Structure 1
């Protein structure tokens, strides 16, 4: 497919989620070859892959546990063998464990960091060798405005997302000289189907959220996708180490 990403191959993690699937579809529509990394939803992965191929794109679904070193290595090896060198990493996968601080055990804490921070390190560390050899690469991590705003019952998640912004800045410093940019996209309140499983009163939640924002509508996956798609292109080659908040003006500082 023609487009600004023609000739590039991306790995999108968390590809069966509402945001990950939207990112994968957009990168494929922009001409990129896309590896779809997911944990265990085989049906959703197959349906997404079919949608992309039916639209003229090239993709493969690959199951992986991103918290496991060997699983990450196997994922990256398979993607490379079947699609060619990965030069765009969209590090999107994560989890949103809600738990009061007083009930957060060391085990809960470790799990939150493993899922929402260490997994991003493992992926970047595995893929940057190839990007370095090519002299070109894009690492785009998906953070959260909660890293700045804070919220109750999410200490592990928020700490991990704050760490992810730091990791992204460190990668930008270290890898920029060899042609790799690293940036973070931090969504605000984005309306995705998974929200229905964690929100008791969607209308009240929406009203509270709009009161925080400048833009008076809920965010959509497409809002985040547009930022990710731009940062993946050659046009974004002079942007490095930044956190782009896609939040309707929730966090202005």
Structure 2
């Protein structure tokens, strides 16, 4: 019997010749996405924010899979820094064919305890950052006549959650961005999103008491946290040749936390 935690392997060579930029790549989820894209043959731009040691380690791991890599550091909320990082990456690897907007910010705070600076921090990373990176990548995709984008939202965009009003708002906004952009740049550029449920990553760990895990997973079908390795194959599918009819869609990778 197959373990339901074992994701399907990416088809080797499916993405050979493509260059993929993954933002927030050195985190657990970003790294898992990078590994799956690399197994499918994509060269990887490993984006990070002042985490060069971890980025270089990930690049080495990906290169062992037979692909080319480059690491770049930039604050996704800084237009000029992102533009410089993209120029460097594309000079070294070639034009960006695939963009995975994975970088994000999540903070547990009740609305009545949230000040404007804290609210803006979440919006800046989770929405402005996606806009900036996408805005700088899309023109090249349109010029070349092809591109694929996957935005990482969350099941909380649909469910809401106590103590996460800002995060839920930003991730819901990202879905509107995905749908509108899909209509604007499709079918030349294929734009989709995924909405994971709670994933066992360091971002979740500070909150993950047994009570917290139970609360977040009790109404899901699988009744547990997801694993980073269970997300990568869906991203690879959405940017691969098997998903030509997916435009402006959201895949619910939440173990049945949101149905329908």
Query: Under a length normalisation based on structure 2, what TM-score does the superposition of the two structures give?
Result: 0.92
Which among 241, 252, 259 is matched to residue 252 of structure 1? 259
Aligned pairs, number: 250
Deviation at 1:28, TM superposition (A): 0.9
For structure 2, the 5+ residue unaligned runs are 1-10
Which among 99, 106, 114 is matched to residue 89 of structure 1? 99
Q: Is the 8 A contact 2:151 2:194 kept in 1?
A: yes
Matched residue, 1:171:
181
- Inter-partner Cα distance in structure 1 for 2:91 and 2:219: 46
Matched residue, 1:31:
41
Establish whether residue 230 from structure 1 lines up as the match of residue 237 from structure 2: yes
Structure with more helix by fraction = 1
Matched residue, 1:154:
164
Deviation at 1:105, TM superposition (A): 1.4
- Inter-partner Cα distance in structure 2 for 1:219 and 1:95: 19
Report the aligned-residue RMSD.
Answer: 1.4
- Inter-partner Cα distance in structure 1 for 2:22 and 2:172: 21
Matched residue, 2:191:
182
Larger deviation: 207-216 or 8-17?
207-216
Which among 116, 122, 132 is matched to residue 126 of structure 2? 116
Deviation at 1:187, TM superposition (A): 0.4
- Inter-partner Cα distance in structure 2 for 1:153 and 1:204: 15
Deviation at 1:64, TM superposition (A): 0.7
For structure 1, the 5+ residue unaligned runs are none
Larger deviation: 73-82 or 214-223?
214-223
- Inter-partner Cα distance in structure 2 for 1:107 and 1:206: 29
Matched residue, 2:59:
49
Which among 12, 23, 27 is matched to residue 17 of structure 1? 27
Which among 212, 218, 221 is matched to residue 214 of structure 1? 221
